[in-house]
Structure formats: structure tokens, C-alpha cells
Amino acid sequence: MTIPQPSARVAPASAAGAAPARRPRPDQAPRRPMIECRGLHKYYGDYHALRGIDLTIREGEFFSLLGPSGCGKTTLLRTIAGFEDISSGVVMIDGRDMRNVPANVRPTNMVFQSYAIFPHLTVAENVGFGLRRDPRSRVEKAAAVEEALGMVGLTGFGGRAAHALSGGQRQRVALARALILKPKVLLLDEPLSALDRKMREQMQVELIKLQRQVGITFVLVTHDQEEALVMSDRIAVMFEGEIAQLDGPEALYARPASRKVADFIGVMNFLPARIMSETHDHVTVAAPGLGTVDIPAANVSRVDAGDAGPSIGFRPEAATLLGAGATAAGRVTEGVIDEVVYYGDMTYYDVIMDGTDAYDGIPHEVRISMRNVFGREVPDVGTRTRVSWSPGSLVLFR
Amino acid sequence: MSVAGRGSGLRVYAVAYLVFLYAPIALLPIFALNDATVIAFPLKDFTTRWFVQMVENAALRTALLNSLTIALSAAVLATSLGIFAARASTRYSFPAKGPIMGLIMLPLVLPEIIVAVSLLVVLLAAGVNLSIFTVILGHTLICMPFAVAILSTAFASLDTSLEEAAYDLGETRWSAFRLVILPLVMPGIMSALLMSFTVSLDEFIIAFFLAGNEPTLPTYIFSQLRFPKSIPMIMALGTMLVALSVVLLMLAEYFRRRGVARTGRTDSGGFL
Amino acid sequence: MATAQGAGAGQGLRLIAPPLLYAILMLAIPLLTILAYSFFRDDYLTVVREFTLDNYRAVWADPIFRAILLRSLAVAGLVTLTTVLLAFPVAYFLSFVVPPQRKALWLLLITIPFWTSYLIRVFLWKVILGYNGVVNSGLKSLGVIDQPLQFLLYNTGSIVMTLSHAYAPFAILPIYVALEKIDRSLLEAGRDLGESRAMTFWRVTLPLAMPGVVAAVLIVFIPTIGDYVTPTVIGGGKIPMVANMIQAQMLDIDNKPLGSAIAISSMAVVTALSLLFLLLNRRFLRVRA
């Protein structure tokens, strides 16, 4: 369940309020590629798990692979880690072809979904596990372990039995164990999915800080769109073994490349539309209930195979319910409130907009989210209302 | 739920059942220490002479030595083979997995007499002389399914990413197995060894068919049952064997519990 | 997590090779050999390798074999019935009444007798039931009887008694495991839907425990039918079962083809009965608890 909360950067991320604002990169010059995947295919028998992945992840980037379960995101991560052979294509890490480079010598380390904390070892032995072949002295290694534990906020936990730790602590041990080896890339396979909501939001913030501190490239696999939006510099959305869209969080949220991406990330209202005319910088469409609108070319998604026809989309927070006597900033459509869902800080209103049944005879409902203001009444179901929206926030899917 | 009320009848039954299970065994020490050649009430004086007779019996010593050699060899062989089978069946999928595992586990449901006669026929046809070595071959076969069953539980409870994590942290396949998997399944290995050892030590029919002229403990006991004057000594021997079994079983249980404690899993009881 | 199929299959086959090879050499080949022997002719000292069905004709035409097979089946059936019926309440008690922290102790108590020498356990019953045995001498010294009771030993009943005792833990454990797997909320659901405790047991617990009961039945039935020690010791050689007949043909009479035919015939009967039993219970086995 998502509770959208408007924030400076990304609207639906509930943790966004707690997360540090997206860091401005000191070096805006394009950084060199750290991971490059070219024409990656992976078959399990007849099953085509990865269908031609082309991807560049830059040095120092916090990159997320986002998609529903079975989309191939974990397979792609494990391919980068070297746990899965690829059927065809190339994986390069730091400019080096990874063919015939097994997982144990790749410059990557992984935080597993189950954390894979060795239950028969102490916390310190877990963190120092990868230092066995390190030529440093015992004292130096112990210092490195203590430093790594400090980095994840577990100073003094070294002597504890690993199986006695809480979920959040296991997660930190897994991080320290991977980071102590100073990998070029840290791979995280759904690292927060086993934590409860509060702990998850706290760890999201800590991971962002940690990544900024160590400057290592992080690649995160997640099915949680909110988590991806909060944490990532860039996100690759994957469906059925292919990358559907690769963009920054803002672009992904505001200008999803397809209906499928729009549906997967946050809530998107869809209304049937007809394309009237097209120029190089905008498309003119007619939509029932909205009238005729010009959509900027940047907000026009590519064609999605199998879609019913063109439609107009907008996010719940892109429209506003107008109180009695309020004046609209944009255009206005009238309608009736059909459902009210109260979330405390927010309320969702499902509104049947007038005239939306013009094309298919079905009155369409749209979801509008409003921040609750203390003292302002929440309108009841059945109330007639005015909805204010702006053409600039509409996206055309065709 | 009123567990106490519903359970009391069942509890009485369960205790009665335990009495039924233990009553015959309880007779062992009673008559082993009874100064009479006939196993009958009323009891006579206390004596330890049956134990002395047992210790001084050279034929029994030979049989015991043979049995220990067989049980130790069969336990080590069956457990080693069991490690391969348990690891393969819990970690990998391969063609004809079902039939292959079925064949390996078959001795568990096959009457031992069938295993014994079929092995006897083949060994004789192959010109192998019957000895304790041939008994080891047979016992390894029937102990293997027990070892596989115990070890499969041990291997299956391991998170596969533990091994991957070790590999990811720079270890080789083998050192990852040695440093992570082996310590974690060690309690299972100990249980498998102990169980195989006990099964072999106790096995009669295969030893009866395959040992040739070599006595093992069970075949020696069987041969003595015909002679009433040997019975008190057999009671003393039985007492010792039961004590040994209890010690071995306690050891097995200790290793199982240590395995549970070590990995922080919840104790579900029982290692079978 | 799925591992790469191709590499996994190769690795799996390499790992399974040693135990598989052992099972083939020590089990599959011997079983196939006695199967082959059962179709060969016996020539006193040697086995003549020419195909014949004479052994099977001789076995099935022999009234002694048929009687012994029937007796073995009856004994094994009785033993199985007694063992499983006696074991079920204990397994139920272990699973539903014993608090979790005490379960390991109870299981240990139940398994200890299984770990003590089978031969000695069987022999103890002879000591208990014998002419001058514990029961007779005990009753005599108490003045209940004057003459020893003769009917205690050397009959089918004493064989059934001994085997039921010997196989008790085998029946308890599978039923216990099946009961442990039952989601306790299912039972509450049964009660919630208006069933009495007894009907909930009948309609929910028992069907879900059936896989364990089926396993217990097979685990007791199959080995008891091939038991050699008990008929020899308790039956005093007067009440032979199939195993005694096989042993006699194989060792004493040394007619290996005929012995093989007896072994194969009885195995075929046991297998057929087991499969029939599984078939009759298939609707319980399909349920995934």
C-alpha cells in the first residue's frame, strides 16, 4: 500500500520527508561507466529470463533495478555478481570483460535478501570472513572489522553470536561484511524486504548516507517502487526480462514511458482520448470531460503494443478539488465524489467527472489526492465538486 | 482449549504405552544381577558373576571386536556416501532424480532378508569369500538411507545463499564448503555416524548370511539362545548393550541440540 | 533460487555418482540377479542358466508355501493393525498435548527402545512368555496358577505381540510428523464452523494425518513380513514365515533358483498389496497439509 505524500522531490514516497534531499553531485561531468551490459540474454531451459539487456551503470551511482517478481531483476543482479552464467552478451565491470571471471574474484560484493549471515560465527567473524586471504596482520584485520562495524552503527557488537541478532542488525552485518572488502560495486538483492515498515524507512536513509560516505557504486534490486524512488540516482524498470524504462526518479514518475510503467509506479488516472492533430512540439488531443488539450511532445509516451487506444493520464496529486468560492489556477471539470479514503495526513477522493462517458458510455472515475489541512472539512460522498487541473501535468499514452 | 482436561486420559495411555515399551528391557538388569541360571521368579541373590563370565568369554570378545570393526567401517562409509547423496538431492536437480534417490533409499523399505539373500547370491557368484568385509558391504548399503535421511534434513535447512555469500567474499567452491557448509552440517554428520553405527551393531540377518564363519555380536547372541546355561550371561550382555545404546542416543541428541542452538533455529524436537 | 540448469544437472550427477554406483552394485545388480536366478534351473551343485518357469510353478503349486505366505501376510497384517492403532493415540498425545519444550524428551523416550538390540528385545519376550518364563514363574510364585500356562509361547499370538512391541516407534514417528504439520487454525476453523470436537477430529484431523498413517502402515507391514528372527525365536521354528522358508532354500537346501523364486514371489505379493493400499488411500495423499 502506498500513502502518497507530496514532497519537494518525489510525490508518492512516504519516506521522502525523512530522507535527505537528493544530493547535488559535486562533479557534474559524466562519470565513467562502472558496469556495462551489452545484449545480455539468459535462458533457463526454454524460459527466456533476460531478453537483450543493454545497460550502463556509472561509477559512484546508486542504481536500482525495479520490477515485479519474475521480471528478471534478480537474475540480472546475479549475472553481474557472477552467480549466473549468461547465454549470450557481455558484462563488463570497470572496463574489464567478466567472461570467465568467477564470482569469488569479481570486484563486486553482495548483500543477500536473506542476509546469509553465517550462523555459526560471531558478528566479528562474519564481518572479517572475506579477509582470510588478506596479508595484513591479525591486529590490522581486527581494526578493519571494528571500523566496518562502526560504519554501520554496530560498534561493540563484534563478540555477539550472529544468530542472536535482530533483522535490522543482520542487515548491517551483511553490509559491513561486504563493504570491508572495498568492492567497486555493492550489489543489494531486496535488502530491506524482510524488515518492518519503520525499520525499512530508517535503513533507506542509512543506505543513502552510507553510499555517499563510501562512494561505491550501489546496485539495488527491489520490487518496491517507493524504495527505488527514495534511494536511487537512476532506476531501470524491468518487465518480463526487458528494461521498460531507464530514468531518474523524477522523470520516471512524471513522464512514464508506457502505461505499464505508469501503472507500476504510483497511481495514474487514465481517460480515453482521441488524437486530433500533431506538430513537432505538441500533440492536440480530445478527452471526454477534459475537452481539447495540447500535450507537450516530452509528455507523449512511446507506443505500447496491445493497448486499447490512446489515453490521457495524470497523477492523483496533479489535480485539486476546489472548495466553494475558490478560484482555479488551471482548467476546471465538475464531478461527483464517489468514494472518500481517509489516510490521516492525506485523503483520496474518487471522483466521477462529468462527460467522461462520452466515448464508451462508461463514466470514468479518477483518483485525486489532497493533503489534509487542519480545520478544513473533508467533503462527503455524493457531494458535487469542481476539479482543477492543468494541461501541463497530463501525459499522453498512445 | 482445555488441554489439561483433554490430555489427562491420553497422558495415562501414553505412560502405559511407555511401560509396555520398557517393561521387557527393565528385566535385563534384574536378571543379569540375579544369582540363578533360570530366568524366573522369585529372584535369588544378587551377583555380578554373569558380568564376569561375559568379560572372560573369548568368543564373545571376538564377536564384539568384529561387530565394532563392521559398525565403525559401515558408519563411516554410509555417512560419506550419504553426504554426497544428501547434498546432491537438496541442492541440485538432475535427470532421473526421483528413481535414483528411490534406489538409494530402497533398503529402508526392503525386508532385510531380501537384501541378504540377493547380496549372498551375487557375492558367491563373483567368487568373493564371505568375511566381515562382506558384512561391511551389506551394512553400508542398509545404513546409507538412514544417513541420507538425517543429512538431507541438515543440508535442506541451510540457506543456499550462505554458500554463495562465502563464494562472493572470495572463497573457492571447496573452501566455501569447508568453512561454511561443513561446520553447519557437522551435527547432522555426527548423528548420521551414530545412527549408522547403532543400526549396524544391531543388525542380525545380513551378518547371519554374509559373515561366513566370522561371528558378530548378534549372530553370537543368536547362537547362544539355544543354550539355557548361557542365558544369564546374555542378559548381562543385553544390559551392557542397552546402556551403550542409551549413551550413543544421548550423544546423538546432544549433537542435534547443539546444531539447533548453533544456528539459532527453533527446536522442533526429534532427529528422525 | 534457481541455479543454472545445465551446470546444476552436471554437478548434481557428479555428486550423486558415488552413492548411486554403490546402490547399483550392491542392490540393483543383486536384485536383478535373484530375479534372473528365479528363472534358472537348479542342478544340485550348480545353477544351470536356461530359462524356465518351473521354479514359479513349484512355488505356487506348493501348499506349504501358500500356507506360509498366507500366515506371513496375516501376521504382518495383525501386527500392522495393532501397532498403528496403539501408536495413533500416543502420536496424537505427543503432537497436541505435550508442550513444545517437552517434545524432544518424549520422542527420546519413545525412540530409546528402538535403539536397543532387536535380537535381545525379541529374546526377552521368549523369556517373559516361556514355559519357565517371567509370567509363568511370577504367577506361580504369587499362587495364581499351579502349572505353567502353555499357550503363551510358540503361537501366532506371541509372534504378533513381539513384533508389535518391536515396531512400535516406527509407527509413532510418521504419524507424529503428519500431525505436527497440521495447521492448528484448521482445527479451530472446524470448531468455529460448528463441529464438535469429535467431528472435527473425524473430518479434519484424521484425513490430514492419513499420509502419516499410510507411511506407518507400510513401514511396519513390509519389514515384518520378511522378519526372520521372531518366528525362529518366539515361534520356536514351529511357525515358519516367508523369511524362514527363503533362508532354508538358500542356505540349508541350497536350491538358489527356488529360493530366489520364493523371494521374488513374496516380494511381488508385498509390492502389489502396498500399491493397492496406496491406491485406496490416494485421496488422502494428494492433500498437501
Instruction: Quick: pLDDT tens for A226-270.
Output: 999 999 999 999 999 999 999 999 999 988 988 889 989 988 998
Q: What digits encode the pLDDT tens for the residues C139-174?
A: 877 878 877 777 777 788 888 888 988 888 888 988
Residues 6+ apart with CB under 8 A from C46: none
pLDDT exceeds cutoff 60 at A288: yes
For residue C111, being part of any structural domain is answered with yes
Indicate the pLDDT class of residue A17, thresholds 50, 70 and 90: very low
Indicate the pLDDT class of residue A304, thresholds 50, 70 and 90: low
C260 neighbors C180 (Cβ within 8 angstroms): no
pLDDT exceeds cutoff 80 at C197: no
The answer to whether residue A44 neighbours chain C at the CB level (below 8 Å) is: yes
Indicate the pLDDT class of residue B261, thresholds 50, 70 and 90: low
* C29 vs C127, higher pLDDT: C29
pLDDT exceeds cutoff 80 at A30: no
- Within A83-223, where are the H helices? 123-127, 138-151, 167-179, 197-214
Q: How far apart are CA B26 and CA B245, in angstroms?
A: 14
Q: How far apart are CA A300 and CA A283, in angstroms?
A: 8
A398 neighbors A301 (Cβ within 8 angstroms): yes
Residues 6+ apart with CB under 8 A from C214: C277, C278, C281, C284, C285
**Which residues of B fall within a CB distance of 8 Å from C97?**
3, 6-7, 10-11
Q: How many other CB atoms are there within 10 angstroms of residue A37's CB atom?
A: 23
For residue C269, being part of any structural domain is answered with yes
Cα distances from B165 to residues A219, B173, C229, in angstroms, run 17, 11, 52
Q: Which chains touch B (3 or more CB pairs under 8 A)?
A: A, C
CA distance to partner chain C, nearest, from residue B3 (Å):
6
C162 neighbors C123 (Cβ within 8 angstroms): no
* C48 vs B262, higher pLDDT: C48
pLDDT exceeds cutoff 50 at B2: no
**Which residues of C fall within a CB distance of 8 Å from A41?**
none
Burial of residue B72 (number of CB atoms within 10 Å: 0-12, 13-18, 19+): middle
CA distance to partner chain B, nearest, from residue A124 (Å):
15
**Which residues of A fall within a CB distance of 8 Å from B170?**
104-105, 130, 132-133, 181
Of A331, A321, A315, A327, give the one whose Cα is nearest residue A370. A321
Q: How many other CB atoms are there within 10 angstroms of residue A82's CB atom?
A: 23
**Which residues of A fall within a CB distance of 8 Å from C7?**
85
Predicted pLDDT at C139 = 82
Mean pLDDT of B192-197: 90
For residue C32, being part of any structural domain is answered with no
Q: Give the residue numbers spanning the domain of C167.
A: 62-285
Sheet holding A319-322, edge to edge: A319-322, A384-389, A331-342, A346-353, A365-371
Predicted pLDDT at A322 = 86
**Interface predicted TM-score (ipTM):** 0.86
Q: How far apart are CA B221 and CA A53, in angstroms?
A: 72
Of B245, B19, B67, give the one whose Cα is nearest residue C116. B245
CATH topology assigned to domain B58-263: MetI-like fold (1.10.3720)
pLDDT exceeds cutoff 90 at B263: no
Q: How many other CB atoms are there within 10 angstroms of residue B267's CB atom?
A: 13
Q: How many other CB atoms are there within 10 angstroms of residue C198's CB atom?
A: 8
**Which residues of C fall within a CB distance of 8 Å from A44?**
2, 4-5
pLDDT exceeds cutoff 70 at C190: yes
Predicted pLDDT at A22 = 52
pLDDT exceeds cutoff 50 at C135: yes
Indicate the pLDDT class of residue A5, thresholds 50, 70 and 90: very low
Q: What digits encode the pLDDT tens for the residues C43-93?
A: 777 777 888 888 899 889 999 999 999 999 999 999 999 999 999 999 999
For residue C245, being part of any structural domain is answered with yes
For residue C40, being part of any structural domain is answered with no
Nearest to A112 among B165, B170, B183 (CB): B165
Task: Check B94 against C9: CB less than 8 A apart.
Answer: yes
User: Above pLDDT 90, what percent of chain A?
Assistant: 54
Number of domains in chain C: 1
Predicted pLDDT at A6 = 39
Q: How many other CB atoms are there within 10 angstroms of residue A104's CB atom?
A: 18
CA distance to partner chain B, nearest, from residue A77 (Å):
13
Indicate the pLDDT class of residue B84, thresholds 50, 70 and 90: very high
Sign of CA dihedral B261, B266, B270, C1: negative
Residue carrying C-alpha cell 550489489: A187
Report which secondary-structure segment, H or E, holds A65. strand A62-66
pLDDT exceeds cutoff 80 at A204: yes
Of A384, A328, A314, A372, give the one whose Cα is nearest residue A348. A372
Indicate the pLDDT class of residue A7, thresholds 50, 70 and 90: very low
- H/E/C letters for each residue in C189-213? HHHHCCCCHHHHHHHHHHHHHHHHH
Mean pLDDT of A48-57: 94
Beta strands at A384-389 and A319-322: parallel, antiparallel or unpaired? antiparallel
Report the length, in residues, of chain A.
398
For residue C12, being part of any structural domain is answered with no
CATH number at residue C277: 1.10.3720.10
> Residue A348 has which C-alpha cell?
483520496
pLDDT exceeds cutoff 60 at A380: yes
pLDDT exceeds cutoff 80 at A125: yes
pLDDT exceeds cutoff 80 at A307: no
Task: Check A164 against B264: CB less than 8 A apart.
Answer: yes
pLDDT exceeds cutoff 80 at B193: yes
Report the length, in residues, of chain B.
272
Mean pLDDT of C109-113: 83
Residue carrying C-alpha cell 543493454: A54
Predicted pLDDT at A179 = 93
Q: Which residue of A has its CA nearest to C3?
A: A84
pLDDT exceeds cutoff 50 at A16: no
Nearest to B88 among C12, C22, C30 (CB): C12
pLDDT exceeds cutoff 90 at C126: no
Indicate the pLDDT class of residue A62, thresholds 50, 70 and 90: very high
Q: How far apart are CA A331 and CA A74, in angstroms?
A: 44
A118 neighbors B181 (Cβ within 8 angstroms): no
What amino acid is encoded at B15 in this protein?
V
Angle, in degrees to the nearest 10, between helices C206-225 and C256-280: 170
The Cα angle at residue C146 between residues C140 and C151, in degrees rounded to 5:
85
pLDDT exceeds cutoff 70 at A115: yes
Q: How far apart are CA A187 and CA B62, in angstroms?
A: 62
Peptide bond into B42 cis (omega under 30): yes
E-state strands within C19-167 = 41-43, 46-48
Task: Check A104 against B159: CB less than 8 A apart.
Answer: no
Q: What digits encode the pLDDT tens for the residues C257-274?
A: 899 999 999 999 999 999
- The full set of domains in chain A, from first to last, is 14-107+183-259 (3.40.50.300), 268-397 (2.40.50.140)
